[in-house]
Chain A
Amino acid sequence: MEVFFDTYFDFSFMSEHFDEVLAGFWVTIKLSLVGGFFSLLWGLILSVLRQLPGRLLAPVRWLTIAYIDALRGIPLLLVILGLSAGLATLASEGTIPREIGIPQWFGESDPFWYGVIALTLTYGAYMAEVYRAGIEAVPRGQMEASRSLGMSHGQAMRFVIVPQAVRKVIPPLLNDFIALMKDTALISVLGLVETVQTGSDLYSEFFNPSGYTLGAFMFLIVTIPLARLVDWQIKKQDEKFQRGIP
């Protein structure tokens, strides 16, 4: 047991290298926030495309469904590797501009942006399903009542359906965000020095895995409160619809 603690909980090592791990964790945070933001947006676009009405737009719906199914069924790691390799190859051949193939926007490295794009492509697909479930969970009568008052489909969505759906999707979207944040670790395969890569670098140099432990703690400081927030949100919603039975 003592060996275990000495190996993983070397506190003097942790305090010595705290700044390095924190710098890595800051990259994780940035990656999560930027990737999370674009995933939310892309997911919303996908869910709207998937629900476009009419026969004429059926191909758009099918393509969107195919995309969502595909990206939900492929490992994120494969998307990260395939995307970075593909874009870098195309850029070096000159098929696409270098600024797009090897993106280094706003002072961030190209692995960072490959990570953001891969997270967006994959988590956008997950989040599109969450939005859809939220909209479908609003009873049919709400749309009928809105339309019977003369509102257009768009007005009914904007003033009646979406405001109710938003409350229902916040907990599952937060859950997806927690998963996304943990999955940013996969981008370390591209050499991005985020939390996991920092721990790995420290281990290679000093043969001490406590850097991993410190990184894990930093994750938990963010993810546990987020998970509690999800539970609290769900409980708050349930209380509105349940009575009695404590």
Chain B
Amino acid sequence: MSSEVILRVEGLKKSYGKLDVLKDINCAIAEGEVVCVIGPSGSGKSTMLRCLNMLELPDGGRIELHGNEIYGGGKTHDLDVLRREVGMVFQSFNLFPHMSAKENVSIAQVRVRGRKRSEADARSVELLGKVGLAEKVDEYPDRLSGGQQQRVAIARALAMDPEVMLFDEVTSALDPELVKGVLDVMRELADSGMTMVVVTHEMNFAREVADRVIFMDQGFIVEEGNPDDVLGNPSADRTKQFLGLVLSR
């Protein structure tokens, strides 16, 4: 791929006590690319995603953002820069319950980006409109459905104007009828050229939206490639087995 690499990961390792969750992860995310990460639970895909944002401190390897080392030799650098440029959406939404939808989206713009409150609020209203919540800007999270909360969370991450968006199983905690609204927002985001790394169990989403699919198992990247190859004609036995179980549902 010719476009610039935004995130590069080399030899990433992570363990909890004796359990090695990530053994040797190597990958690069290019600008504008949508990468879906699939794999069985416990394969390390969420941990990898959380390492990209340093919510988990790796135990070895290197992470680069735009060629600048963010993690390497056991040390972290410029964590705040990394987190400002990398947006994250969680499985459990994690909206701030004591703030309205608009305040949720504005707070980091004001406190981290240093925008004026009025400017930030205007941007929040615009983004909430984009995710289909124009009428909910003043609602508090406990008055919103799971799908609506997750769309607020997406708007909150987008408000920081990140270069990459990370999605950690963002539809897994949702009722089935609410999943589509969130996936539609993500699809639009992908179409607009946003760089995205998406850990997901939604195989159809991966097939239709991803530029590249990564299959992980037991702390390794087992297979990667374009979605039709990985999902339609996998080469590794482990991938075949996993897809056989998932797609036969």
Contact = CB atoms under 8 A, between A and B. Distances in A.
B90 A141 contact: yes
A148 B96 contact: no
B53 A148 contact: yes
B94 A150 contact: no
A135 to B, nearest CB: 15
A142 B84 contact: no
Contact of A151 (B90, B112, B153): B112
A147 interface: yes
Interface string A136-158: 00010110111111111001000
The main secondary structure of chain A at its interface with chain B is helix
A159 interface: yes
Given A150-B83, A151-B112, A144 B90 contact: yes
Contact of A149 (B98, B112, B142): B112
Given A141-B90, A144-B90, A159-B111, A150 B98 contact: no
A149 B96 contact: no
Interface string A15-47: 000000000000000000000000000000000
Contacts of B94: 139, 141-142, 144-145
B70 to A, nearest CB: 13
Contact of B156 (A149, A152, A159, A167): A149
Interface of B: 53, 55, 80, 83-84, 86-88, 90, 92, 94-98, 107-108, 111-113, 142, 153, 156-157, 160
Contacts of A240: 142
Contact of B111 (A141, A155, A163): A155
Contacts of B153: 145
A160 B160 CA distance: 17
18 contacts: A139-B94, A141-B90, A142-B96, A145-B88, A145-B94, A148-B87, A148-B88, A149-B107, A149-B112, A149-B160, A150-B113, A150-B160, A151-B108, A155-B112, A159-B107, A164-B96, A164-B97, A167-B98
A149 B80 contact: no
A39 to B, nearest CB: 26
Contacts, number: 57
B55 A160 contact: no
Given A144-B90, A159-B111, A164 B55 contact: no
Given A160-B96, A164-B98, A144 B55 contact: yes
A149 B108 CA distance: 6
Contacts of A164: 96-98
Contacts of B83: 147-150
A121 B111 CA distance: 36
A170 to B, nearest CB: 14
Contacts of B160: 149-150
A55 to B, nearest CB: 13
A149 B142 CA distance: 21
Contact of B112 (A144, A150, A163, A167): A150
Contacts of B97: 164
CB-CB nearest 7 A-B residue pairs: A149-B108, A145-B94, A141-B94, A150-B84, A148-B88, A150-B112, A150-B83
Contacts of A155: 111-112
Contacts of A148: 53, 55, 83, 86-88, 157
A160 B108 CA distance: 11
B98 to A, nearest CB: 5
B141 to A, nearest CB: 11
A142 B141 CA distance: 13
A151 B111 contact: yes
Highest count of chain A CB atoms <10 Å: which of B88, B108, B160: B108
Contact of A150 (B90, B92, B95, B108): B108
A142 B97 CA distance: 9
Contacts of B142: 240
A118 B245 CA distance: 66
Nearest to A140: B94
Contact of B55 (A139, A142, A147, A151): A147
Nearest to B108: A149
A144 B55 CA distance: 7
A141 B89 CA distance: 11
